[in-house]
A = this chain, B = another copy of it.
Amino acid sequence: MPPGSLEELGRRSRAAARVLATATTAVKNDALEFAADALGSGRAEILGANAADVARAEKSGATPAVVDRLRLSDARLDEMAKGLRAVAALADPVGQVVEGWVRPNGLAVRRVRVPLGVVGIVYENRPNVTSDAAGLCVKSGNAAFLRGSAGAIGSNKAITAALRSGIAKAGLPADCVLLVEDTRHDTVQEFVRLRGVIDCLVPRGGPALVALVVEHATVPYVIDGDGNCHVYIDADADLDVAERIVVNAKTQRPSVCNAMETLLVHRAIAPVALPRFAAALEGVELVGDEATRAVLPEVGVATETDFATEFLGLRLSVAVVDDLDGALDHIARYSTGHSEAIVTRDYEAARRFVREVDAAAVLVNASTRFVDGGELGLGAEIGISTQKLHARGPMGLCELTSVKFVIEGDGQIRA
């Protein structure tokens, strides 16, 4: 086990996790505050390392979007530090009693939140994830075992060094945050197979990373998957509300997973509603089914692929449905189970939509853009789970914990 090997790093991460698991909230908060301070005092080193990463990316012909995600600035660094302090201010989930009861034989049973242990994060070119993820892990009592991308390695090393110094200053093992510095592609596959080391893996990246995890991981993981989100405008919708939500869901930030990708409109209101929406969505390229194009002939043809695609940009698929059942069927067929919304004034339609749509989040008369840990009041999020196991929807601190049964008796034995 050479020093710096994944196995050796894993051993160190587990050892740190065992200490961190029983650290008090006060000590963990100190660690986060000191880490935030260290991002400030390490500013020059971090921005210098980041400038080198950016120069390398530009030289290798990375797209402007990639370079933008990679680039840090004083303001972004301040955001990262502020994020750590905000997490320090959140309630500590560790030790929360989820439920408890007493059995007829007198055994007292309770289920208590405990840290997962080692949380592995595989992520791409966003150096802020290093600090955001580490903060959430440490607050929830988990060691953060980080595997960022080659393109951001300089930035990630500098950020990690700052975080580690802050954590050590609070008296916790610096290894509570540990970065894998070997960024050869093969190490991702090794990383996701560190069973017995990583208690929960959170891949933060695109479909290729998710596919790699699904195929190769032997450690437990939570998938933060695609958001092919729908907004359905019911016959009985208030069209002012509908228009406002449609515009917000599509254009307020089109590049994110909770943006609308398909608009479904009830046949009865299509002739009135579609022209209104099309005008309000100026700058968005619409593609539609036949019934949509009957109302909006200038709109392009939406293919099967369009309805199945998360555009993450200013393009929108539009379909006219016969009724609520048509909307539910369309969603059941194409949804990725992220966020689905209905706009209606009809009590029964709202109730059925909420009950029958199978997604992490179902919204009535509200923009899909609210499906976010911060917006929903979870404080911060480590991702948005599109799977049903363990966590579903925005994952906050509680989703970075497990539970333990604590059973207290007075000598009870089983008959």
Contact = CB atoms under 8 A, between A and B. Distances in A.
B367 A414 contact: yes
A412 B101 contact: no
Given A103-B376, A404-B392, A252 B414 contact: yes
Interface in A283-327: none
A104 to B, nearest CB: 9
A17 to B, nearest CB: 9
Nearest to A398: B99
Given A214-B195, A367-B413, A413-B252, A18 B362 contact: no
Interface stretch (A261-269, A272-280, A353-361): A353-361
A109 B376 contact: yes
A334 interface: no
A10 to B, nearest CB: 15
A26 to B, nearest CB: 16
A402 B376 contact: no
A360 B404 contact: yes
A21 B244 CA distance: 32
A176 interface: no
B406 A362 contact: yes
Contacts of A252: 413-414
A96 to B, nearest CB: 12
Interface in A223-259: 238, 240-241, 244-245, 247-249, 252
Nearest to A402: B388
A264 to B, nearest CB: 18
Contacts of A404: 358-362, 392-393
Contacts of A402: 388-389, 392
Contacts of A389: 116, 199-200, 220, 222, 389-390, 402
Given A220-B388, A222-B389, A358-B117, A364 B409 contact: yes
B116 A412 contact: no
A58 interface: no
B403 A366 contact: no
Contacts of A364: 406-409
Contact of A411 (B21, B366, B409, B413): B366
Given A363-B407, A365-B412, 14 more contacts: A21-B356, A109-B376, A114-B358, A220-B388, A238-B411, A240-B411, A241-B410, A248-B413, A248-B414, A363-B408, A371-B407, A389-B389, A389-B390, A392-B405
